[in-house]
Amino acid sequence: MSIETVTEEEADPTFDEVDELLVEEVSIDGLCGVY
Amino acid sequence: MGVDSSLRDRFEHGLAAPICLTWELTYACNLACVHCLSSSGRRDPRELTTAEATALIDEIAEMQVFYINVGGGEPTMRRDFYDLIDYAVSRRVGVKFSTNGTRIDAAAARRLAAMDYLDVQVSLDGVDATTNDRVRGAGSYTSARRAMDELAAAGFGQFKISVVITRENVAQLDEMAELASHYGAQLRLTRLRPSGRGADVWDELHPTRAQGRELYRWLRERPDVLTGDSFFHLSALGSPLDGLNLCGAGRVVCLIDPVGDVYACPFVIHDEFLAGNVRDAGFATVWRDSELFASLRSPGSAGACASCGSFDACRGGCMAAKFFTGLELTDPDPECVFGHGEEALARRRGVAPTSGSDHSRRVRVALSTR
Amino acid sequence: MTTRGIRFDASGPWRLSAEVSLRDESFGALAYHHVNRRLVFLKSPSLVALVSRLDQFESANDALIELIDEPSRESHRRALGSLADSGIIRGG
C-alpha cells in the first residue's frame, strides 16, 4: 500500500501563513512490529 | 514514497493508543518452525482465561485500537478462538489473524468467509514443500496450501500469504508473487529476526547483503507487495520503501502475549523489553505509564550511526535484530546495507542474550543438524 | 474499493463516514476507515473539530465559515477534499 500526501497547490501569496499539509495518509500495513 | 518527517517524529514520540497491536493468544502450536519468534509449542498454564481475554478486548475497544493482529503459537488452538474474534469484531476492533492453516478446513473457511472486518494471513516460507518444510516442518506446505484452497472455495475473498524471507527463499520472489496472484491473495514478506528460536538459525538463514539489495530492488518494483514495514533497514539503499520506515515498538504497536505480558513488539520477547502485565492494572495503564515505553518514546541516540548520511532513512535499524545478535542498541543494524553491522558483529564480546520465555516442545536444534 | 476521484463540493452537506473511527491524539487525530482500511492523520485540532462537527451544518462551506478563521479556510477546505477522496468523510 502506498503512502500519500496531499498534493499542495501553490500557496496564495496573499496569505502570510505557510500553507501546511493538514492531512496525511499512512499505510495500515506500514507499521513495523506487527506480524 | 516516504512519510512526512514531522509525522514520523510524532509517531516516534508515541500515541494515545496503539494503532494496532499483536496479540499472541496462546503459546500452544502444532508445528515447530525453526525460526519461531515466540518459541512456541507448549501451552502455558497461565494463559489468559476467556473472561480475561474478553475484558482485554473491551479495553482495546475503549482505547480505540483500530485492529489487532492475532497470532501465537497457533491461535486456532484456543477453544475460544472464534468466540474471541467474533467479540472483537462486534466491538469494532478489526481482526487479522495469522495461521499455519492446519485447522482451516471447509467448515472453518465458511465460518471465516461469513465474517466482516476479518483478515486472514496464512504463513508459508517457500513456494514448494522442499523449501518451506525445511523451516516449518514436514507436511506444513501441504496444510498451508489446503487452507488457501479452502478459503478460496468458501469465497473468503482476499487473504494474505505471509513469507519470512530467508537466504533459501529469496530466489523465489517472483514465484511467491505468482502464487499470491493465483489466489487473488496479497503477498506479504517479512524480515527474519534473530528472535525466539530465530536466534538458533539466524546466522545460516538471514539474507546476505547482496540478497538484501536484490530484495530492495524487487520491492521497489512491486508496491502491491506488503512488508509490514519490515525492511526499513533497506531504505538506506535509496528511495524509502513504503511504510513509516521506523521502528514502531512501544510507539505505534506492541505485543500482548498469552499470559498478559506486554512487550514492545513480538520480536523482543525478553525481560529487557517487558513493559508490564495486563493482569496488574489493565492494558491501558501499561501503554500509558510504562517506563520502558516512555524511554522508547523519547528521542534516542543515533549512536554509531550518527555520522552516517543514511541514518534518517533507516534510523539505525531494528532493535530486535541488534539485541538478539548481542549488539548494543546504539550499534548499527546487523544487516546494515553498508556492512557496518558486520563490523560491529566482528567486534562483539560475550554471548548474545536469550529469552527466558521458551515454550518449545523439544530441545532446540540447529538447522544444519535437522 | 477506493473512492478516488470523489468531487468535493463544499456547498453540499458532508459528514464523517459511519465506517470510520476517529481517535484524538495530542497533535490532532487519527482516522481509520474499517472497510477500505485507510489510515489518515489529521494534523490539527481545528481540522479535527471541523470534521467532528461537519454533520451539524447544511454545507461544508457553512462549517468552514463558522469554525475556521478566514486565512485558514483554504487549507482546511483542501484537507476536506482529501478526506473525501479517502472516504473518511462522505456526502449527505
Q: Which tens digit of pLDDT belongs to each residue from B290-327?
A: 999 999 998 777 888 988 999 989 999 999 999 999 99
Residue B268 identity (one-letter amino acid): V
| Chain A, nearest residue to B232 by Cα | A32
- Fill in the DSSP letter of residue B233: G
Mean local confidence (pLDDT), C73-86:
96
- B266 to each of B23, B26, B88, B108, how far by Cα in Å? 9, 13, 20, 26
Q: For an interface test with C, which of A1, A15, A21, A22 has the most C Cβ atoms less than 10 Å from its Cβ?
A: A22
Distance CA A22, CA B347 (A): 46
Residue B9 pLDDT: 78
Contact indicator for B62, B90 with CB cutoff of 8 Å: no
Which is it for the CA torsion B212, B217, B222, B227, positive or negative? Answer: positive
**CB atoms < 10 A from the CB of B228, how many?**
23
In a domain, C65, yes or no: yes
Q: Which tens digit of pLDDT belongs to each residue from B219-239?
A: 999 999 999 999 999 999 999
Helix axes C73-85, C45-53, angle to 10 degrees: 60
Contact indicator for C57, C13 with CB cutoff of 8 Å: yes
Q: What is the grid cell recorded at B299? A: 528521542
B66 neighbourhood in chain C, CB within 8 Å: 21, 23, 30, 32, 34, 39
In a domain, C11, yes or no: no
Distance CA B172, CA C14 (A): 48
A26 neighbourhood in chain B, CB within 8 Å: 3, 7, 244
Where does the pLDDT of residue B130 fall: very low under 50, low under 70, confident under 90, or very high at 90 and above?
Answer: very high
Q: Exposed/middle/buried for C4, CB within 10 Å: 0-12, 13-18, 19+?
A: exposed
Q: What is the average pLDDT score of chain B?
A: 94
Where does the pLDDT of residue C7 fall: very low under 50, low under 70, confident under 90, or very high at 90 and above?
Answer: confident
C25 neighbourhood in chain B, CB within 8 Å: 10, 15-16
In a domain, C61, yes or no: yes
Quote the ipTM score. Answer: 0.90
In a domain, C63, yes or no: yes
Domain that holds residue C87: 25-91
How distant is the Cα of C28 from the closest Cα of chain A, in angstroms?
Answer: 9
For residue B121, which phi and psi values (nearest 5 degrees)?
A: -125, 115
Mean local confidence (pLDDT), B21-39:
97
Distance CA B366, CA B34 (A): 8
Facing B247 at nearest CB: one of A29, A33, A35: A33
Residue B102 identity (one-letter amino acid): T
- Comparing CA positions, the residue from B259, B256, B250 lying closest to residue B288 is B250
- Comparing CA positions, the residue from B128, B173, B198, B163 lying closest to residue B367 is B198
In a domain, C75, yes or no: yes
Q: Which tens digit of pLDDT belongs to each residue from B236-275?
A: 999 999 888 888 999 999 999 999 999 999 999 999 999 9
In a domain, C42, yes or no: yes
For residue B80, which phi and psi values (nearest 5 degrees)?
A: -95, 15
Indicate yes or no: CB of B22 within 8 angstroms of CB of A34.
Answer: yes
Where does the pLDDT of residue A11 fall: very low under 50, low under 70, confident under 90, or very high at 90 and above?
Answer: very low
∠ CA B78-B270-B98, nearest 5°, is: 35
Q: Helix, strand or coil for residue B20?
A: strand
Q: Is B90 on the interface with C (CB under 8 A)?
A: no
pTM of the model: 0.92
Q: Is A11 on the interface with C (CB under 8 A)?
A: no
Number of domains in chain C: 1
Q: Which tens digit of pLDDT belongs to each residue from B172-194?
A: 999 999 999 999 999 999 999 99
Facing A30 at nearest CB: one of B4, B21, B244: B244
Contact indicator for C13, C86 with CB cutoff of 8 Å: no
C23 neighbourhood in chain A, CB within 8 Å: none
In a domain, C39, yes or no: yes
| Of B52 and B362, the one with more pLDDT | B52
Facing C21 at nearest CB: one of B15, B16, B64: B64
- Fill in the DSSP letter of residue B235: G
In a domain, C15, yes or no: no
Least confident interval from B97-101, B282-286, B302-306, C19-23: B302-306
Q: Is B288 on the interface with C (CB under 8 A)?
A: no
Distance CA B330, CA A19 (A): 37
Helix axes B140-153, B129-136, angle to 10 degrees: 110
